[in-house]
Amino acid sequence: MSLGMTNPGAARDIDREAIAATERLIRPHIRRTPVIEIGGADLGLDASLRLSLKLELLQHAGSFKPRGAFTNLLSRAIPKAGVVAASGGNHGAAVAFAAMRLGIPAKIFVPSVASAAKIKQIRDYGADLVVGGERYADALAASERWIETSGALPVHAFDQTETLLGQGTVGLEFEAQAPDLDTLLVAVGGGGLIGGVAAWYAGRRTRIVGVEPEAAPTLAKALAAGEPVDAEAGGIAADSLAPRRVGALMFPIARRHVEQVVLVPDSAIREAQETLWRVLRIVAEPGGAAVLAALLSGVYRPRPGEHVGLLICGGNTVAVDFSR
């Protein structure tokens, strides 16, 4: 399938037309995840606020990542050796899931910081899993060595046109489900999600605000420097929001279409996880709860009556014990 791109690596091709074509391609393989609406008072916030939460944690493999994974596997030529991916966990699980569904061999590299839930998922989907190194950058380096010897096709977690297009379909869905959003809060790791979503909303009235952990300010540092640069890669969301630097393809999109980036402390992310469970019985991983942490901690202060979208992007955690 051709997405109509003259240069597969060019950020200028990541736009609404290409994202819409991508959505048609992957539609049979992904879930259209629900949106729920609540008032600010439900979360102890300003009662005039309208909050729309898109529950992308209900996507296959527990996060938004299968959108990009299926886009890669369906629109690129797959060699006999199959595909390879490096991941903090969610991307690896998504590639493993898509490969399982499409009958493609997959080898996944994850660092030791990957959660037990994500490691189990990857194994359950039948991929060849390698756990090693402390951070995503270590897994990426190991995957690149494997590519050289195996000839497998790399599926990058965020710095790949097809990945960005796939993640942009979240924005397409969210706009159809909540067309009058004033602001959309999106968690940032390598930037594939916010890059794709911002490309979809480009030129629209909805403001895009990035949310990062204080311990992994990848996009904040890139915007301050004028280019992607290395940043800290720690904190409780390190398995999903700490790749060391944002992707080169998403950066020009973010510079043009992301209004601001706010940083949240780990304590606020943990509080947001607990609040989502207590109020809505939603079990989100730290990266998935970061957007709510921006509201609860006050680092993002909406105007009275604002309609805020919250993209709850992942739920791969063992935070709730069902043994009893």
Q: Is the predicted pLDDT of residue 306 greater than 90, yes or no?
A: yes
- The residues with which 106 forms a beta bridge, in sequence order, are 83
Give the residue-averaged pLDDT of 70-76.
Answer: 97
Question: What does the pLDDT look like over 190-211, one tens digit per residue?
Answer: 999 999 999 999 999 999 999 9
Q: CA-to-CA distance for 316 and 63, rounded, in angstroms?
A: 7
Q: 12 and 250 in contact (C-beta within 8 Å)?
A: no
What is the Cα 167 distance to its own chain's centre? Answer: 7
| Mean pLDDT of the residues in the chain | 91
Q: CA-to-CA distance for 311 and 94, rounded, in angstroms?
A: 18
Q: 311 and 174 in contact (C-beta within 8 Å)?
A: yes
Question: What does the pLDDT look like over 246-273, one tens digit per residue?
Answer: 999 999 999 999 999 999 999 999 999 9
Amino acid at 172: L
What single DSSP character describes residue 95? H
Question: What does the pLDDT look like over 107-116, one tens digit per residue?
Answer: 999 888 778 8
Q: What domains does the chain contain, in order, with CATH numbers? A: 11-63+161-312 (3.40.50.1100), 66-154 (3.40.50.1100)
The tokens 């490096």 sit on which residue? 86
Q: What percent of the chain has pLDDT over 90?
A: 77
Highest average pLDDT, of 91-95, 156-160, 164-168, 211-215, comes from: 164-168
- Model's pTM, two decimal places? 0.92
- Please tell me the predicted confidence (pLDDT) of residue 239: 65
- Please tell me the predicted confidence (pLDDT) of residue 138: 85
Give the residue-averaged pLDDT of 68-75.
Answer: 98
- Please tell me the predicted confidence (pLDDT) of residue 266: 94
The tokens 């390598």 sit on which residue? 190
- Please tell me the predicted confidence (pLDDT) of residue 240: 63
- Please tell me the predicted confidence (pLDDT) of residue 242: 65
Per-residue confidence band for 11, with pLDDT thresholds at 50, 70 and 90: very low
